[in-house]
Amino acid sequence: MARRRAAFYWMTIPAVVLFFLFHTFPALQGVYYSFTNWNGFGDHYDFIGFKNYYYLFQDSNVWNAYGFTFKFAVVATIFINIISLLIALGLNASIKARNFFRAVYFLPNILSVLIVGYIFNYLFSNVFPIWGAHLGSDTLAGNILGNEKFAWLGVSFVAVWQGIAFNTILYLSGLQTIPTDIYEASNLDGASKWQEFWKITFPMIAPFFTINMVLAMKNSLMVFDLIVALTNGGPGRATQSISHLIYTGGFEGGEFAYQSANSVIYFIVIALISIIQIRFLQRRETDM
């Protein structure tokens, strides 16, 4: 028995080696470079200890990017989860053409983020301003992606639009785990729809709520391709996310080592947030 189990360990070797070579090793290299002043080109660099980390805390562009990223992530996470849960409840009900609607609502998830971004870029530039002009709003009569104060709302809108689909699927699968006889019992006791949701439905899908919140937050914190397609971090740096800053500063700006340090801190921040979020929500699960 023990010998047979050993064979399975050996089978995992290729995957572990590949993972280490292409994921772990490059990540460790990045940490190494974060202690240098390498610009990414040529062979020369000096060790500068923690200077890059010190500079990061002095850099208003980094704080600005975290400010936008957190504001965006919180708004996107909340709206994605509220709307996707409502849609899932609707799709789980006994409605006509249910499977058709499920397919329609899942469509945004299979579209490339860049394609979605460019489509909405066109809409924000050419279609929505016409609607805005009809509404008599000066702000909406222009492209809000070009407005320093409101561009983040445009980006959030598109992120929510696309992000809902995936979370809806998870909620739908969660709802389907709830036995129907519980609802039959509550009907006999005269429970209202409202009570039914908060006393039965929501507690029963609490684990799905937890994972959906964590996934939506993590994905929102890592927003990058949508930023590239819609605003490229603009106007100015109004919608520059941390990942976009790392990319433009490190590759366009020739500050590879400095932005490696930025990405090390970024990794730590996301890991901490995910851990805290899971702990908090899991504790609430047991309280329900």
Partner 1 sequence: MRRFGRIGSVIIAVLLTGTLLAACGGKTSADGKVHIEFFQNKPEAKDSFDKLVAKFNAENPNIEVTQVNPPDAETVLLTRVVKNDEPDIVGMGATDTFSVLSQSGIFEDLTGQPLLDQVNPAYVKQVTDVTGMTEITGVPYATNANGIMYNKEIFRKLNLQVPKTWDELIQTAKAVKAAGIIPFYFTYKDDWQTNLSFNALGPNIVGNDFFKARRADETTFKDHFQEVAEKMLALLDYGHSDNFGKTYADGNRAFARGEAAMYIQGTWAIPELRKTNPDLELGFFPFPTGNDPNKANLISGVDTLLAITESSKHKEEAAKFVEFLLQPENIGQYIEEQTAFSAVEGVNQDDPAVAELKPYFEQSRFVDFADHFIPAAVQLNSITQSFLQNRNIDGFLNTLDTEWDKVANRRQTP
Distance CA 141, CA 139 (A): 5
* 188 lies in the binding site for partner 1 (CB under 8 A): no
265 binds partner 1 (CB under 8 A): no
Residue 274 is a binding residue for partner 1 (CB under 8 A): no
Q: How far is the CB of 74 from partner 1 (least distance, A)?
A: 24
Spacing of C-alpha 204 from chain mean position: 24
**Binding string to partner 1 for residues 31 to 70, with x set by CB under 8 A, is what?**
------xxxxxxxxxx-----x--x--xxxx---------
In sequence order, the β-bridge partners of residue 47 are 36
- Across 80-105, b (16+ Cβ under 10 Å) vs e yields bbebbbebbeebbeeeeeeeeebeeb
Indicate the residue among 4 and 283 with the shorter CB distance to partner 1. 4
Contact pattern from residue 209 through residue 248 relative to partner 1, giving x for each residue in contact according to CB under 8 A and a dash for the rest: -----------------------xxxxxxx-x------xx
Residue 104 makes CB contacts below 8 A (sequence gap 6+) with: none
Q: How far out from the chain centre does Cα 64 lie?
A: 19
What tokens were used for 19?
A: 């993972």
3-class SS of residue 250: helix
Out of 148, 185, 187, 288, the residue judged to bind partner 1 by CB under 8 A: 148
Q: Name the site residues for partner 1 (rule: CB under 8 A).
A: 3, 6-7, 10-11, 13-14, 17-18, 37-46, 52, 55, 58-61, 124-125, 129, 141-148, 232-238, 240, 247-249, 251-256, 258
